[in-house]
Structure 1
């Protein structure tokens, strides 16, 4: 057999093997899909938070899309929900043509072609914009049930729930509202007691003394089984708030916390307390993100009560207290607690357990500091625990930490010179060297 014929046979065999391999790959990919996402935390795939929400459902979820059969809207909706159905096989999708019965659509309030209604047990959520963020928020509201009413005390210089100032809580509260919480103001100059339907009261660092009527209303609410989040600022506790502190059995210690070891994390102000380790507690179980707390008031348990008290925020042993202006109190050494979680059997027959959280800092959830480390994730855990949504506490935090590249001015200058000056000169030198060697050859 000639050499040329052998080469032809080898070429035909190689081509045949390539075709067989391509066919095998096509056969396998048609029946078994395998997707690999190499972005940080698999950002382009279904987020860990979405998977965690889907895992909270006990039973099927029915999704009805009111989309016209014309066009490719139904295919788009089906493709978007396909990932959810893989994670939760009993998530069912059905379509209804809104043009078949316009009167029924008006009664249902369908106004957008492709609008979705999610059904779970006797609850439902509507969705007119289909993105993973909006769908996950709708699923979280569906798990939570009815909207939770969170009343923010106002009228005494507290941080505003809808404010945009640096010290306000507007950014955090707007995110809470997307997940099934409804923030309402609570002004005791207009009401004499906390409304009965309130699920949680937030007292966010009042700057002025509470009126006797407001103090009594909050004390009565606490005594009747209401849940409370109290954000305390450093300094002597105002006398109007002392009855609440006495009822909980705690004291706000003098001075504010400072921790020189924070400089190891690049923090220039020792009053910025960084935490990466937390005492064991249901709120912080499995929580490993670093949180930052500026200007912290240390707290202490002063007498036993019928509350079960668990500290969940504690400074490092290197922390100490420093006196505030005009305060000559003795220096206290760490570790010092500045976050307590209280729980007890509820006096109210409507719920089994009453919960309270007191934190010696109100800035960590403010507009200025919310984006630092795990502040937002910790805040969500606190609210979920206070509202009794224990199944949502351990959900992964939202977002990816590597979306912003932070470089100093010196590093930015080095990058600019490197890419605009050094790199072109190196390439030019390499090109000149190659040309010189070719001429010599």
Structure 2
């Protein structure tokens, strides 16, 4: 029989030894995914850990210590962050990350004032689902290039058979853990896959560990701080790359809050409120932008830990955040992450990027979006082709809207102008659940 008894409530403080172990579990659960995003985009993994910990603490403060949620690097922003790096380096990414955080914050204020229905009308499943699919499928080429060791300088694959074999072995380990292992280990397949793949790559002789030996134990991360490390230069190109993705990830945030409420048996959408949780996400992302980290989001992996352990103490979550901050200052940890071969990263990414795409497909299926309805078919088709095909529009001399951003904007416009908006919600399962959660509890 499944144990559904709550072991620690949200305001319970465990004994120090138990506290450390429980917080370490959450650290391991988020670690693989959080470091993977900066490793794929060229940002600093140490700064990502630091911003993850600081962002989580800010989130806990804004939500009044009532939501036991951990925040880490958002996969949805991998492609726009990579593009922003090409346009303006880490400084450019920080501008886009700051703008994404502002979008979250403005949305939170609007929800507090006017409710959530306007957001639901803007982002029904028929729009959100295919945009999420574009996020995953648009990264497929990146995963394969890493797995087969594509060299940008020569424009050729270097020892593709060896590297792809290691990538497939890494992928196999990750899949086996995900499918056949139960309990807590099932929640950290990325970390186990990276560890197993790293060991195989080490045996194959493609790991350069010299940087680990040279690295200091204590090291201040390579922070990118505005007005101290650089002078911010506003770029509309980068803004339009990243802010539309923030709009889409809001739907994912709402889904996470509904799941977390169900797991914990509390209505977090109502108390402390959806506006507070979204504001917490926005503030955490703004904090990340001020030190050089990627955008933050609530992590499903940590919700899984809560479901298994039945420990909902926000102090345990806060402890994991403090541990992440400490890890960010350990130089050998960053050097170890930097030594992970592209083949190992590629093997894990094949699965992760596919899961992102599949989660978009699942949103369409769960909401029973009828693609026999012509407007739905048109919206989904146009979003997929524009997003994956890499279409872009140049506005003036210095502004370009492309890829996922253009796909998201196009989908929103099509949904607004085509008749039959009610079909874009399907059976509205997610949104009906949201509306129900936002109603007053008469029994209370």
Whose helix proportion is higher, 1 or 2? 2
Quick check: which has more Rg, 1 or 2?
1
TM-score (norm 2): 0.22
Whose strand proportion is higher, 1 or 2? 1
Higher RCO by CA contacts (8 Å cutoff, separation 6 or greater): 2
